[in-house]
Amino acid sequence: MVGIAEVLISYDIACQYSRNFQTRFLQLPAFLLVPLHLLILFLIPKFHLPVHKEECRYNFSFNYTKQVGRTDGEGIERFWGAHNHLSGSTMRMTPGSRLDTLNFHFNDWNWRKLCKMGQAYSIFFPNSLQLLTRQFPAGAVLTGQRDGSPTLSPPGRLSRKRRR
């Protein structure tokens, strides 16, 4: 995990799971140990938060955690909920067939999710243009370079590196 400084774990019972986490992991083989420099944040998904104690609602909430945006932490549950039906048909498959079948379904899920993103953004973020201009008062547009690093461009002009 070179270069990774923080890991966020979203788990229904993160308040319980986080207790003695390091102690439990010290009992594992050396290649599974968590690096000492790694900061692990435990948070409870928003749907599960109301049934926890008040103390947990504040200490393990996505709402009070920096750098998570407006994440609800339920993404993985939506994914598995749509794929639970596969367990019956893959149970008796050989490992290779099971892997191929699961990969096929997961890739299909990712493709459909990608195709729906534009529609979802227009529904969930109708004021995104106003928010963008508020974030970049000069009206600059955030664009991506080929190397993945973002740059700011004046409105109407996209910065592109010339190919040689």
Domain boundaries in the chain?
1-77, 126-155
Give the model confidence (pLDDT) of 10-68 as tens digits: 888 888 888 988 888 888 898 888 888 888 889 988 888 888 888 888 888 888 888 88
Q: Phi and psi (nearest 5°) for 78? A: -65, -40
Q: Does residue 162 register a pLDDT over 60?
A: no
> DSSP alpha helices (H): ranges in 11-163?
14-17, 21-26, 54-59, 75-83, 86-90, 95-124, 128-135
Q: Are 25 and 49 in contact (CB under 8 A)?
A: no
- Overall average pLDDT of the 120-141 stretch: 67
pLDDT at 108: 93
Distance linking the first and last C-alpha atoms of the chain: 35
**Most distant pair of Cα atoms in the chain: their distance:** 60
* pTM, entire model: 0.58
pLDDT tens, residue by residue, 74-114 = 877 788 888 888 989 999 999 999 999 999 999 999 999 88
| Integer Cα distance of 61 and 10 in angstroms | 10
What is the reported pLDDT for 134? 73
Extract the tokens encoding 153: 């461009």
What does the pLDDT read at residue 107? 94
Residue 4 has pLDDT above 50, yes or no: yes
